[in-house]
Amino acid sequence: MPRETIVQAVNDALHTEMAADDRTLVFGEDVARSGGVFRATDGLLEAFGEERVRDTPLSEIAIVGAAVGLATHGYRPIVEIQFSGFLPPAFDQLVSNASRIRWRTRGRLTAPMVVRTPYGAGVRALEHHSESLEAAYAHVPGLKVAIPSTPADAKGLLTSAIRDPDPVLFMEPKRVYRSFREEVPDGEHTVPLGEAAVRREGADVTVVSWGAMMHPTLEAVDKLGVDAEVVDLRSISPLDRETLLASVRKTGRCVVVHEAAKSGGFGAEVAATVAEDALLYLEAPLRRVTGFDVPVPLLSMEDYYPPQPPRIAAAIEETVEF
């Protein structure tokens, strides 16, 4: 198996699925001739031609709106929004059109489309380039939201998203796009949407995270003398409640780590799920380790915004010692 980075695994999945199904199309800003701002679509134009790989104007509304139209007419569009902070202009297309077309038409039409977008802080980007707004999209019925943390999962989840009969928002953690490599299955490889992964078995505390925050979470756990179980949600919509609750019932404690702002972040949904169905198993209050309720700061201050291993480790220790 080849060893790939996350961005290479995304490119691998796109090549594999486009070769397998000529209904798949890729379009977005600079995705064709430049291969995307992060080169995730590099080589697609040469392999599949300009009829299936197209550059678009700077209009997220038009990009996602066109994808909805194509998806309802037999194609499987995969569109790229350069940064997740640019996605809000297309919120109406995702919420009012793509996510509810199956319900609105009583199943006569569906929207099998994927919106890919890099998200999160940590690369010294400009304003609106570092947001982590996954909770807003997870709130939308009919829209799936997947967030990989490893190259193998990036390829597997993206493949499943492309094949899914309904719209999927695929959020790629650009902070770790190229920070490490791992073996990725060659050829066809799928990871089911809505299925979490237990990255580390443990008995003392459940630590839940996803995307770019999985790596500082694992680093924090490895440095502690605590038998922590680490759960990578991988998809936040649908949420794998079974894996989450089984882990919390086993350990009796829970810490949630994410880089989005704390208020209304998806960690609150995790906490509510645990409170509803595993409250009597808890031996300590659930803790959230998150970004702050401010816009992502620019340049050097950006590193203070996402949770770092020391802050994560402190929350885990406090939870275990409660």
Express each pLDDT in 42-85 by its tens digit.
Answer: 999 999 999 999 999 999 999 999 999 999 999 999 999 999 99
Query: Tens digit of pLDDT for each residue in 79-133?
Result: 999 999 999 999 999 999 999 999 999 999 999 999 999 999 988 888 888 999 9
Active site residue 129: yes
Model confidence at 38, pLDDT cuts 50, 70, 90, reads very high
Q: Is the confidence at residue 17, as pLDDT, over 90? A: yes
Model confidence at 301, pLDDT cuts 50, 70, 90, reads confident
What is the DSSP secondary structure assignment for residue 61, as one 8-state letter?
A: H
Query: What is the number of other CB atoms lying within 10 angstroms of the CB of residue 46?
Result: 11
Q: Kindly provide the residue ranges of all beta strands, DSSP E only, lying in the chain, ordered along the sequence.
A: 3-4, 24-28, 53-55, 76-80, 114-119, 144-146, 168-173, 182-183, 197-200, 205-209, 228-232, 235-237, 254-261, 287-291
Please report the sign of the dihedral spanned by the C-alpha atoms of residue 84, residue 118, residue 196, residue 246. Answer: negative
Mean pLDDT of 283-311: 93
Model confidence at 299, pLDDT cuts 50, 70, 90, reads confident
CB 159 within 8 A of CB 190: yes
Position 303 scores a pLDDT of: 86
Position 98 scores a pLDDT of: 97
Q: Is the confidence at residue 309, as pLDDT, over 90? A: yes
How much is the pTM?
0.96
Cis? peptide before 173, omega within 30° of 0? no
Annotated catalytic residue: which of 129, 189, 215, 258? 129
Q: Is the confidence at residue 208, as pLDDT, over 90? A: yes
CB 99 within 8 A of CB 141: yes
Query: Tens digit of pLDDT for each residue in 125-159?
Result: 888 889 999 999 999 999 999 999 999 999 999 99
